[in-house]
């Protein structure tokens, strides 16, 4: 049997499927009458750490039901395909545009934080150099000024992180909407039952025969 994909760190359950292990091997089970067991050559027991990789691209996000596996059979070659979303973002026109737009949107906040960092470092360095010659009153005043600037910097950093997360999520949603549509269209040709994120935390190995990344990028650019 040719296993094109080896998995690890699969979530404990999704879409009515359950994941269980026996003798170091994980199984995916979907109860259909007497039940269907599909074996993956899988090791390891840690749970998914990042739902950004979201399990799956399972059948183009559950649009292609996996209900036709014969009892006791393993997945044949082509049943499972993979896509590298990192390569899609870095290589497709929509991904590059989203990245450039996000960087431009964040430039103002980034400049503000960099300015506050420079001011804070200057205050800290001046205080270090002059602490021995300053009066107690002047030393206390400059110390308080430095502390206020450090708090201001901390607030600016927190605000920038929140802004980045919000705008990044918006960008990802736009890219994913177009990517999902293109993937469904692409899958009319490839007939994959599962399309998984090709990341080392999830897919340990995938044959190039089941990697749809380049085809997906071409379709996105064409559309």
Mean pLDDT, rounded, for 88-102: 92
- What is each CA distance from 69 to 28, 74, 118, 168, in whole angstroms? 12, 8, 62, 38
SS3 (DSSP) at 68: coil
Give the per-residue pLDDT at 167: 92
pLDDT for 134-152, tens place per residue? 999 999 999 999 999 999 9
Mean pLDDT, rounded, for 120-144: 94
Structure token digits, residue 74: 């393993």
pLDDT band at residue 78, thresholds of 50, 70 and 90?
low
pLDDT for 106-119, tens place per residue? 999 999 999 999 99
Measured in whole angstroms, the distance separating CA 22 from the mean position of its chain's CA atoms is 29
Bridge partners for 30 per DSSP: 36
pTM of the model: 0.56
- What is each CA distance from 120 to 114, 145, 221, in whole angstroms? 10, 9, 45
192 contacts: CB under 8 Å, gap ≥ 6:
59, 60, 64, 78, 79, 80, 81, 210, 212
pLDDT for 173-222, tens place per residue? 888 899 989 988 888 888 888 888 887 666 777 778 888 999 999 999 98
Give the number of C-alpha atoms closer than 13 A to the C-alpha of residue 70, restricted to the C-beta side: 3
What is the overall mean pLDDT for the chain? Answer: 72
195 contacts: CB under 8 Å, gap ≥ 6:
56, 57, 58, 59, 60, 80, 81, 82, 83, 183, 187, 212
Q: Residue 107 region, left (φ>0) first, then alpha (ψ -120 to 50), else beta?
A: alpha
Among 14-18, 99-103, 179-183, 189-193, which stretch is predicted with the lowest mean pLDDT? 14-18
Give the per-residue pLDDT at 207: 79
Greatest C-alpha distance within the chain: 85
Give the per-residue pLDDT at 195: 83
pLDDT band at residue 126, thresholds of 50, 70 and 90?
very high
Is the per-residue pLDDT at 133 higher than 60? yes
- Please say whether the beta carbons of 203 and 84 come within 8 A: no
- Top-confidence residue, 22 or 203: 203
Is the per-residue pLDDT at 17 higher than 90? no
- Residues of the chain above pLDDT 90, percent: 40
Is the per-residue pLDDT at 31 higher than 50? no
């Amino acid at each position: 049997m040719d296993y094109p994909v080896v998995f690890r760190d699969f979530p404990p359950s999704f879409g009515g499927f359950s994941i269980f292990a026996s003798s170091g091997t994980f199984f995916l089970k979907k109860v259909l009458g007497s039940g269907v067991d599909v074996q993956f050559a899988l090791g390891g027991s840690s749970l998914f750490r990042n739902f950004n990789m979201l399990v799956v691209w399972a059948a183009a996000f559950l649009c292609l039901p996996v209900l036709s596996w014969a009892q006791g059979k393993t997945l044949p070659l082509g049943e499972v395909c993979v896509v590298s979303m990192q390569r899609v973002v870095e290589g497709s026109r929509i991904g590059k545009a989203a990245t450039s737009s996000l960087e431009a949107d964040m430039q103002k906040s980034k400049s503000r934080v960099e300015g506050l960092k420079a001011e804070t470092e200057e205050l800290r360095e001046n205080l270090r150099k002059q602490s021995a010659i300053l009066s107690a009153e002047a030393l206390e005043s400059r110390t308080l000024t430095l502390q206020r600037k450090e708090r201001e910097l901390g607030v600016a950093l927190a605000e920038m992180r929140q802004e980045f997360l919000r705008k990044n999520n918006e960008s990802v949603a736009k890219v994913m909407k177009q990517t999902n549509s293109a993937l469904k269209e692409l899958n009319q040709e490839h007939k994959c039952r599962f399309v998984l994120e090709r990341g080392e935390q999830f897919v340990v190995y995938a044959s190039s025969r089941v990697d749809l990344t380049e085809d997906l990028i071409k379709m996105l650019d064409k559309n």
